[in-house]
């Protein structure tokens, strides 16, 4: 499953589907998207790494 959202694979498992691998979707933070990416991580629990190391 290609996602950064843990609720997606949790939801699929709730329907009896086995998720055998999660492939993260990598985004390069930049001045235009850094606040958006941090909001997704902080408010929605998205698994995004390295945002605190940038900008």
**Domain ranges in the chain?**
6-44
C-alpha to C-alpha distance for 3 and 55, rounded to whole angstroms? 24
Residue 20: what pLDDT?
94
Predicted pLDDT at 55: 57
List pLDDT tens digits, range 18-54.
999 999 998 889 999 999 999 999 999 999 988 887 7
Q: Give the per-residue pLDDT at 50.
A: 81
| SS3 (DSSP) at 12 | helix
Q: What gap in Å lies between CA 49 and CA 26, rounded to an integer? A: 9
pLDDT at 1 over 90: yes
Predicted local distance difference test score (pLDDT) of residue 27: 87
Confidence (pLDDT) at 7 = 92
């Amino acid at each position: 499953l290609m996602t950064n959202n843990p609720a997606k694979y949790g939801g699929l498992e709730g329907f009896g589907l086995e998720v055998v691998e999660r492939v993260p979707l990598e985004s390069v933070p930049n001045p235009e998207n850094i606040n958006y990416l941090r909001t997704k991580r902080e408010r929605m629990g998205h698994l995004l790494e390295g945002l605190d190391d940038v900008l």
